Amino acid sequence: MTFSSRTSSATAPSSPAVPAAPAAPALVRHAAGRGTLGGVGLVLGGTVSVQFGSACAALVFPRAGALGTVGLRVAFAAVLLLAVARPRLRGHSAADWSVAGGFGLALGGMNILFYQSIDRIPLGAAVTLEVLGPLLLSVVVSRRASGLLWAGLALAGVFLLGQGGFGRLSLAGVAFALGAGAMWAAYIVLNARAGARFPRLDGLAVAMTVAALVSLPLGIAVSGGRLLQPAVLGLGLAVAVLSSAVPYTLELLALRRLPAATFAVLTSLAPAFAAAAGFLVLGQGLSPFQCGAVAMMVTASAGAVRAGGRRSPE
């Protein structure tokens, strides 16, 4: 039947087939579904890249220090993005520049605080604490009772992490990770707003330049001439590509396909990727309690996505 129907249509060009009216909404829903699926893939790809980049960055700490590594990472990323995006600087309002500046400060603050954290505590623990920022954002934005359930599960995961040795973690490292989480939440909101105000990657390139102007002077002040060593420069460039240029580009593109709330909870899958990266690159093993904590965070993320908080913080 299918073959004969197609043959009949082909032999009657004077009567082109016109799809029935209900087919159009179905096609729209199908296209929207593909766009959402692509957005999810972009977020997960960015998460994998940034976590393995962070693990590689920890290898640079003995040579350049945490602040020096951040400075190199962000400066190289800014140069790469400026070269690729070639942002147009004219025609933007003061409000546009305010959003881009805030986006850059959030980027710089997030990177500085997070690198200070992983210089003191294991990567998996740092990311588990850091994702509390995006999870809290998802609860606030979704305004659903189920969001509180998933946030509670995430907090239980943090408590379980504590039972697995949280008391032995550096308090400064914990504080830096929580601060990075707050900056991460701000980054999500401002990334979405910058994407709406600037075409292509222009907003990201401008924001990364602002972040470089904040972080590079701190890195130079602490590490000095060590930043110019060829090995350090090479590692810094690799970290910039893995941890900044690739993931931030993927995330900005994803935020044009996904609501910020969905993006926030998807990025909360980061503890699982961070644990894998810490184990494979740095040899940081996980205790059963810590594995349980990571599993809780991932479950909370999946549950929040399924709950479907679709409201945007715009």
Q: Digits of tens for pLDDT over the chain (314 positions)?
A: 333 333 333 333 333 333 343 444 443 344 445 567 778 888 888 888 888 888 888 888 888 899 999 999 899 989 988 988 888 888 888 998 999 999 999 999 999 999 999 888 888 778 878 877 877 777 777 666 666 777 777 777 766 666 555 556 788 998 999 999 999 889 888 988 888 888 878 888 999 999 999 999 999 998 888 898 998 999 889 888 888 778 878 887 887 888 766 776 676 677 777 777 777 777 776 677 777 777 777 777 667 656 654 443 33
> Which string of b and e fits 117-150 if b means at least 16 CB within 10 Å?
bbbbbbbbbbbbbbbbbbbbbbbbbbebeebeeb
| Rg of the chain in Å (alpha carbons) | 22
**DSSP 8-state symbol, 243:** I
- The DSSP code for 225 is G
| Cα angle value 274/155/102 (rounded, 5°) | 65
Asked whether 179 and 126 are in contact (CB, 8 A), the reply is: no
Residues with Cβ < 8 Å from 219, sequence gap 6 or more?
Answer: 64, 65, 67, 68, 69, 70, 71, 72, 227
Residue corresponding to tokens 């946030």: 151
Buried/exposed 237-266: b ≥16 CB within 10 Å, e otherwise:
bbbbbbbbbbbbbbbbbbbebbbbbbbbbb
What are the φ and ψ backbone dihedral angles of 173, each rounded to 5 degrees?
-60, -40
* Cα–chain center distance at 125: 17
**What pLDDT is recorded for position 163?**
58
pLDDT at 310: 43
Alpha carbon 202 to its chain centroid, in Å, reads 18
CB-side neighbour CA atoms (13 Å) of 96: 15
Distances (CA, A) of 125 to 16, 194, 286: 61, 30, 9
